[in-house]
Structure 1
């Protein structure tokens, strides 16, 4: 069996480099394949389209051929529907397998992309709001609205973004299991980080000392 890991070069799974000692990884996860196929790749809509076509063709075939005619007319489209579902599920599986979302005490990191892999690092201080879209089965999407002029490419992010926000794409932890718990982890970590005082060094004492000399 081949145990080769395509991301063996990562010092830490999902991160391009080891985080500093002051930073702790709180959660890591990936999208649910089925949820991603349904919500991002439109599995339900595609299957609904084929269902209408199959029923229509079967009805046409049953007019002259009865049950046998309905089967003969509907079967080719049922096969096409199965093939389309297989392709969508394969795409969603690849996307889920190559994606790692990470929440640390300082940031959200997203390793995304199958053909061209990139890692986005979004510090908590650059996040304006985080919104949760949760499904009944517990999966959900956490979208991150960033501050200032921070911009992301829609094509680079897709499908790891908030749907229907093409003007200013919002990176998102898409279709993750147990989304409510992850949202709580994110909210608590961001609140703790943002509330920390920022210590800056002033050059005034040094300048005054130089003038005195």
Structure 2
């Protein structure tokens, strides 16, 4: 039995209020997460370059040690990616976006749709991709609290990022449609795709919940 067994609704900190409905739930694809969020390919190339350099200087023992270290690192990255995929649930309802994140200590972050001003879709290999969400006004979400579900390098104003989503383009479209009735939101896509602009309405303050 895990702590998730006590969730009244999978991925949510409590029961759904009257009038709220789940539109979709998704979790990261661990292979895509390992590549995009943990930079597995770049690290593999780095260790390969070190091993080749050691071979070029005749250091066979050093090259072997580097290869072993690189393989161990890739295994640890894969293990972490699997754990993230198993413990993460992204939930979109008709009122909010909820991120249940955390491998060792789970946290549920509630983002009212009216707080979302834009979402940036970054398409990866195949149909997977990331959706970074920009929030209006001040909020209490820290980069360390969100990581690895945070947009890289946005340290001063952290942005939640839905990582390695299967069928990311469709999920981004659903997010745009859910936000359109509640708040101004722009879904940014690759250059060849149009930008969707939703009508403007007042935006409430952030409501965060942890569990």
Judge same fold: TM > 0.5, yes or no: yes
Q: Secondary structure at the match of 2:156?
A: coil
Which whole-Å CA distance do the structure 2 matches of 1:33 and 1:109 have between them? 20
Aligned length: 187
- What's the counterpart of residue 15 of structure 1? 12
Match of 1:83 in 2: 72
1:15-54 equivalent positions in 2, closer than 5 A: 15-54=12-51
Instruction: Assess, with a 3 A threshold, how the Cα gap between structure 1 residues 132 and 197 changes in structure 2: closer, same or farther.
Output: closer
Equivalent of residue 94 in structure 2, options 90, 105, 109: 105
Q: Which has the larger radius of gyration?
A: 1
| SS of match in other structure, 1:193 | coil
Alignment of 1:40-189 (within 5 A): 40-61=37-58, 74-189=63-178
Q: Once superposed, what is the RMSD of the aligned Cα atoms?
A: 2.0
Higher helix share: 1
Structure 1 unpaired stretches of 5+: 62-68, 199-213
**Structure 2: gaps of 5 or more residues:** 184-198, 203-211
Which whole-Å deviations, capped at 9, do the CAs of 1:27-69 have from their partners, x for residues lacking one? 10111111221222221121111000111122223xxxxxxx8
Structure 1 length normalisation: TM-score? Answer: 0.81
